Structure 1
Amino acid sequence: MTVTQTQSAAHRSPGQDPGAVAHLRPAFHVRPPRGYLNDPNGPIEVGDEVHLYFQSRPTLDHHVPVEWGHATSPDYVRWTLHRPAMAPRPGGPDTDGCWSGNTVLDDGRVRAFYSGHIEGRPYQSVLTAVSDDGGTSFGPPHQVVPDPSDHAIMFRDPFVWRENSTWWMVVGAGYVGRGASIPSYRSTDLETWTYAGPLAELPRDVVDGHDTGAAWECPQMLTIDGRRIAVVASWSPEGGPADVLSFDVDVPVVPRRVDHGTNFYAASALRDSRFGPLLFGWLTEGRDRPGWTDDWAGVISLPRVVWLGQDSSLRSAPVPTVDALRVGDGSPADGASTGAQCEIVVPEGSGQVVIHFSEQERLVIELDVDTLTIDRTQASLNPHAHGGRMQVTDAFDPTSDRPAARIILDGSTLEVFTSAGRALSTRLYPTTPPTWQVEAPPTAHHWQLAP
């Protein structure tokens, strides 16, 4: 997505070689020009404009309190960055950070619900603040839900939505002896909230080889095909973030992974958009902190249209407007030379796509019967870059109108979407700048993507 800035140009440390890292900078994924970004928050359509907020710090120093960064777009493709929409208020209930939450429209005004962080307190308080300028900035916050007192190990990240005439809220939580939970509340006026019990709970377990978490943070609620679908981020005190999971809250909880890559976390939902239900996510770094040679970290994923598969798992594809980034009509991918912003489409069948960054560095994506595998074990000579393989089965649906695989590369970000709606997101750090060479099946096509 094209990202323009209403802030100053990115600052670079004295003596740092811009060419050493320039090809790793995403050009059309949302990110601030400098500093640290993590969770996306509160995407919302206000008239013809999309607002997206996100956790950010102006530097890479994690001791700096978190703000709500802000970007807008007319089409989910061209994004403009603005000044932060919300910042901690000294002496207020968010003194040490405006943490995750969402936004809703109330009588034409944008209202935010989020977690206020104060150092030394065991929980982040659930706060609300109102914007009177269309979502550009928010007024002073106040608390609307009491902090927990019943052995919670975590309590944060409210998500609010409306069903008929009732407003509902869920909060991410985990409890000693009960496991991960999403307590719920209801209200008629967005100010007075009544506890309505847990919408879903699950003792910590391992499902399909994945930890379901001691607690769930960043809970999101979608309604798809008349079913209430929760999207949560599994978390534990000893391990921190794990996977983004989804499940139907009205049947016994069976969590399924939302993204099968290594670097998608803290999903943020837009329940109703011009394209239907959408998800954004935080694409984590995929490299050790000593390898952060730039003055920025963190990227927001492409916005994704979501639906339910036959197994009730959440499936996804990029919003249709992402196609507007393509330059030309596409050319054969096999033998193509490419820059750091490109898309490779494999229409059908099995095969292998290899992006050769250099003689020593390459990325391999393999399509085999019903399985897609991404192998980045040789993607980077940088010792701090993470490697390894990721794989998903039930990857292809020949009856769909989607290609077998869409491979979207933007600097250090890679997002792959399959015809069955499987998504795999990861990060790559080739040390060799473009031009790179593509090896692909004869039917595959390649586009440069121009921000």
Structure 2
Amino acid sequence: MTQTQSAPRSADAVAHLRPAFHVRPPRGYLNDPNGPIEVGDDVHLYFQSRPVLDMHVPVEWGHATSSDYVRWTLHRPAMAPRPGGPDTDGCWSGNTVLDNGRVRAFYSGNVEGRPYQSVLTAVSDDGGTSFGPPHQVVPDPSDPAIMFRDPFVWWENGTWWMVVGAGYVDRGASIPSYRSTDLENWTYAGPLAELARGVLDGHDTGAAWECPQMLTIDGRRIAVVASWSPEGGPAEVLSFDVDAPVVPRRVDHGTNFYAASALRDSRFGPLLFGWLTEGRDPAGWTDWAGVISLPRVVWLGPDSSLRSAPVPTVDTLRVGQGAPADGASTGAQCEIVVPEGSGQVVIHFSEQERVVIELDADTLTIDRSQASRDDHAHGGRMQVTEAFDPASDRPAARIILDGSILEVFTSAGRVLSTRIYPTTPPTWQIQAPPTARYWPLAR
């Protein structure tokens, strides 16, 4: 049995940590979201997953659909590695587009021993439920790269475009780009953006960029990338304008958001999904790990950073008309809204366990240092400044709790995502400012 399969506590003992309305398979390992796409009235979301917690099992594309972006139905995997094929050791990250009414996927095919993952395409003839055999459409890079993977394809100005995540020892992180008229034959068009590795606001900008996504917002081309290095692995999700000097900004100011996946056009405008990584050591996992964030509407702030809010349909999860949050008792799924001002929201899990969300001047802080007595759970604080915009029509803070998931959205569009693991099951108690409101959440 591998380390990730050992578990000191039973699944039943931590059932309150399981999310109710965030996408997650019933068991196994989930990581990057892939290829969200609207097909008719439904949105299809794919994601990297393994049916067990053994990291040696090749990754497949899990599949979920929804008519409202908050109530999801899980399906059989839409794509699985083909023995002896170009993805025999894993169907890795990519995206999907509509090609004459068919859903076409572009993704990275992993074959152990090859220096790079192959850029593959595969077509679905059943509306996105399953995909046919893949084939390679972009050759491996001719220049030695640290990394080359995770294609993203979109239509712009009468042409299909593709970017791939990459990094080079002498040039730093890079987004090579390609163009095509038919989605099969691709011509290299040069790097869309590059940046020598550095530190910005205390965060590593990356030796390479994984999972590049392209959005068009207010007529500007905005890249969203995941910074990565060979020695440190995943770091931060960053965004920047590719047609201006590259100044990356963090997309999420919490501790557990990575590998964002974009839907360029939706009924709500451009959206982002992300992988909410585990905030506990593998030895503390039970029978599952990893979950997908709430889908987020995104826009540009005054500093050109990407701002976020939950999709509007999250409101339909609320049960009842709302009640004062201070003194309320709650289960593992709830929303707490602080309309304005400063103060603390504390969710007391027990006398020994609590999480504190503090609003102070222009700063929002989450302190999870006492959120869990589980030795495997991570603690610490996270903070974002310029968090509030009193002129907006958004509340100062929306605090959304779903089992072990905590996502906090501010009125200025800042978001902090983290994971918490209280050992005490509900009922839990809320302490909050007098104006704060509370709703239970349910599907």
TM-score over 0.5 for the alignment?
A: yes
Which structure 1 segments of 5+ residues have no match?
1-11
Alpha-carbon offset, residue 18 of structure 1: 4.2
> What are the residue-to-residue correspondences of 1:35-434 with 2, within 5 Å?
35-292=28-285, 294-434=286-426
Whole-angstrom CA distance in 2 between matches of 1:257 and 1:290 = 29
CA RMSD of aligned residues (A): 1.2
Alpha-carbon offset, residue 148 of structure 1: 1.1
In structure 2, the residue corresponding to 1:372 is in which secondary structure?
strand
Whole-angstrom CA distance in 2 between matches of 1:122 and 1:264 = 27
Does 2:434 match 1:435? Answer: no
Whole-angstrom CA distance in 1 between matches of 2:425 and 2:372 = 11
Whole-angstrom CA distance in 2 between matches of 1:209 and 1:156 = 26
What does residue 7 of structure 1 align with? Answer: none
Change (3 A) 1:16 1:234: closer
Letter aligned with residue 307 of structure 2? R
CA contact (8 A) 2:8 2:284 kept: no
Alpha-carbon offset, residue 176 of structure 1: 1.2
Whole-angstrom CA distance in 2 between matches of 1:37 and 1:186 = 31
Alpha-carbon offset, residue 121 of structure 1: 1.1
In structure 1, the residue corresponding to 2:254 is in which secondary structure?
coil
CA contact (8 A) 2:95 2:152 kept: yes
Query: Identity, % of aligned pairs?
Result: 89
Alpha-carbon offset, residue 149 of structure 1: 2.5
| Count of residue pairs the alignment pairs up | 439
Whole-angstrom CA distance in 2 between matches of 1:145 and 1:45 = 26
Which structure 2 segments of 5+ residues have no match?
none
Whole-angstrom CA distance in 2 between matches of 1:169 and 1:162 = 9
Whole-angstrom CA distance in 2 between matches of 1:437 and 1:284 = 26
After TM superposition, what 4+ stretches of structure 1 lie above 3 angstroms from structure 2?
A: 12-19
Between 99-108 and 145-154, the greater mean CA deviation after superposition:
145-154
Whole-angstrom CA distance in 1 between matches of 2:358 and 2:297 = 24
Letter aligned with residue 310 of structure 1? P
TM-score, length of structure 2 as denominator length: 0.98
Whole-angstrom CA distance in 1 between matches of 2:377 and 2:419 = 9
What does residue 22 of structure 2 align with? Answer: 29
What does residue 5 of structure 1 align with? Answer: none
Change (3 A) 1:212 1:17: closer
1:335-370 alpha-carbon deviations (Å, 9 max, x no partner): 000100000000000010000101110100000010
TM-score, length of structure 1 as denominator length: 0.96
Whole-angstrom CA distance in 2 between matches of 1:76 and 1:282 = 16
Whole-angstrom CA distance in 1 between matches of 2:440 and 2:38 = 29
